[in-house]
Amino acid sequence: MAFFQRPYLVFSILIYSMKKVLRYSAIFLLLLFIIIQFIPIDLPENNTDITADILQTEKASDEVKLILEKACYDCHSNQTVYPWYSKMAPVSWLVARDTRLGRDELNFSEWGELSKRKRVKILSNMVEEVEDKKMPLKIYTVVHRDAILTQHEIEILSSWIKSLTDKIM
């Protein structure tokens, strides 16, 4: 009974126990982080052949090229620039997944290989995604602040996409 009459003693025992749990948890998480670095990741490969790339096959101003390269090309081309953290798990898993999904949805590096119908459909989706600010993805722009499109850049891109659609049709 005397034990509970000294609340500071109970409190100090709890603090000691919590510190011990936190210390072991931190050690466990550190070891886990080190171990997962040995799980191989297969980042999508880049391709230096740009003959079918949209910027090679279609006329685009330097401004449009700059916008596409800074906000779209990392996920939607075979010219991805992989930063240092893209080789560290678990971030590497997310980068690999997002790049694969982005390229599957739209790959600017394979633009010249698409049918006219597919191009028009993609361009229509692009205008909608850019104007609704669904692209680039928020998770991408958190780290890549320069990829956030200004209203002026959205207007430039939308105008170019609409003129390209008219040209194709």
Give residue-wise pLDDT tens across range 63-94.
999 999 999 999 999 999 999 999 999 999 99
Structure token pair of residue 45: 């490969």
Residue 2 has a pLDDT of 54
pTM (2 d.p.): 0.79
Q: How many Cβ atoms sit within 10 Å of the Cβ of residue 103?
A: 18
Q: How far apart are CA 75 and CA 132, in angstroms?
A: 19
Task: Please report how many Cα atoms fall inside a 13 Å half-sphere around the Cα of residue 58, on the Cβ side.
Answer: 27
Backbone phi and psi for residue 61, each to the nearest 5 degrees, phi listed first = -70, 165
Q: What percent of the chain has pLDDT over 70?
A: 95
* Tokens encoding 36: 């997962």
What is the residue whose two structure tokens read 């633009």? 111
Question: 41-79 in b/e burial notation, b at 16+ Cβ within 10 A?
Answer: beebeeeeebebbbbebbebeeebeebbbbbbbbbbbbb
Question: Looking at the predicted structure, is the pLDDT value of residue 9 above 80?
Answer: no
Assess contact for 157 and 67: CB atoms under 8 A.
yes
Mean pLDDT of 120-128: 95
Which residue, 160, 102, 88, 168, is CA-closest to 135? 102
